Amino acid sequence: MNTNQKAIACLEQNKYDEALSLFKQAVEESRDVQSLTNLAWIYVHEEEDHEAALALLQEVVAKKPGSYFPYNLLGEVYVVMKKWREASDMLARSLAIQPSEEAYNNLAIAKYHLGDIQSAADYFQRSAQPSDYAMHSHIKCLIELGRTEEAKAKLDAFSEEDEEFVGQVEMAELYVELGCFEQAVEWFEKGWKLYWKIPEWISRFVYALLKINDARRAHEILDEVIQQKAEEIREADKDVFDDDWTEDEKAEYIQKLAEEQMAYEGLLQRITRGYIPPMKYDTSLRSSCYLFGCERHQHPEYHE
């Protein structure tokens, strides 16, 4: 059993410190594509040390490896660092070697942030399942491109039964973007008891309700969330926080709750004056196991 195999065996047994030491040892024995990529993967997914991984992976790709693993992983690091152009170039190199859903999705993210919405839409679609977040992102791009009929047809086809279903509020958000307020309200209602209540989506729910002239329900949900925030403030104020909380952190938390309460209290007025609550959209990175020699995922060791 070589050093890499020992390292992966330790990782499988949750002997993390031992595994890390062995992955480092493998690099000391030979700075090759396999040892550098595997140590970089550990730095990304266990240590969250992207700077350390970046240096290792740049060394790897300079060797022009024949596997897409290091290109995918370096593209992932560039996305985390918001180096969109570098991510785009690296992931395109990965796809030239072997297409993967992760590379398509992450290349779509890079293209989206570079302002190339058409390419982002295409790449999200290539990585998507019928009702998942990548398809949600694809539809968001279609809306931005003005292809609203196509976007609505694809959104209507989503199913809550799908294993990767994106979520009720996420559905509602896109219906608001499409101006389909009755459908938006239906989905917001489905998510009402399931989601943590925050101003970002509650404000969109209220907006959709007012667009279909259901002011009664709008007042009802605002009353509920305002009371909820008031209760949270009372509880936080009287709670004795554990040792992990300082007085300053407690005060900051209470201030955040108070700001959310104020956002709810002034919401109806702002909307009636013409305010349109914006959609909070975040791209979602996808990753995978890129460890050479990983038996669980049946990855062979790297050979030139």
CATH architecture of 1-100+288-304: Alpha Horseshoe (1.25)
pTM for this structure? 0.91
198-to-228, 262, 280 alpha-carbon distances in Å = 11, 12, 12
User: Domain limits of the chain?
Assistant: 1-100+288-304, 181-280
304 residues of the chain, pLDDT tens digit each = 899 999 999 999 999 999 999 999 999 999 999 999 999 999 999 999 999 999 999 999 999 999 999 999 999 999 999 999 999 999 999 999 999 999 999 999 999 999 999 999 999 999 999 999 999 999 999 999 999 999 999 999 999 999 999 999 999 999 999 999 999 999 999 999 999 999 999 999 999 999 999 999 999 999 999 898 888 878 776 665 555 677 777 778 888 877 888 888 889 999 999 999 999 999 999 999 999 999 999 999 998 7
Maximum distance among all Cα pairs of the chain, rounded to whole angstroms: 71
Task: Provide the token pair at 265.
Answer: 């209290």
- Whether the CB-CB separation of 187 and 169 falls below 8 Å is answered with yes
